[in-house]
Amino acid sequence: MESTRQQKVSRLLQKDLGEIFQFEVGNLFGNVMITVTKVHVTKDMSIATIYVSLFGTNNKEDLLKNIRHHGNEIRYKLGRRIGKQVRAIPELKFYEDDSLDYIENIEKLLD
């Protein structure tokens, strides 16, 4: 169970990372839509696990590798935004959120 502090930091990271993907680093990934769906932060606030939904691409694996490749640049931009609100900027670990694909598959099976 996450503490209140972890929940607050998770919400802050989700909001700011969403804005970073939308406005600041969109040119790095081409004409795709990247949505931050969930963020989990460890108890010591050193690692943030970020789940992203990827739309507008057929090759999600390559896009996810590209996001991970630019992870330090994204972390730097995040630090510029929230540096005064947290003690240390957590290490960012990106994963694909496939819950929408799972829901779509269940709906196809039910039909």
The answer, yes or no, to whether residue 99 has pLDDT greater than 80, is no
Whose structure tokens read 């003690």? 87
* Res. 30 pLDDT band, cuts 50 70 90: confident
Which CATH fold would you assign to the domain 4-110? Answer: GMP Synthetase; Chain A, domain 3 (3.30.300)
Averaged pLDDT for residues 100-110: 80
pLDDT digits (tens, 9 = 90+) for 48-93: 999 999 888 888 899 999 999 999 999 999 999 998 999 999 999 9
Q: What percent of the chain has pLDDT over 70?
A: 100
pLDDT of residue 25: 84
Residues contacting residue 34 through CB under 8 Å, at least 6 positions apart: 21, 22, 52, 53, 54, 55, 63, 67
pLDDT of residue 90: 96
Whole-angstrom distance, CA of residue 90 vs CA of residue 79: 9
Q: Give, in degrees to the nearest 5, the angle at Cα 79 between 73 and 82.
A: 145
Averaged pLDDT for residues 31-59: 92
pLDDT of residue 29: 85
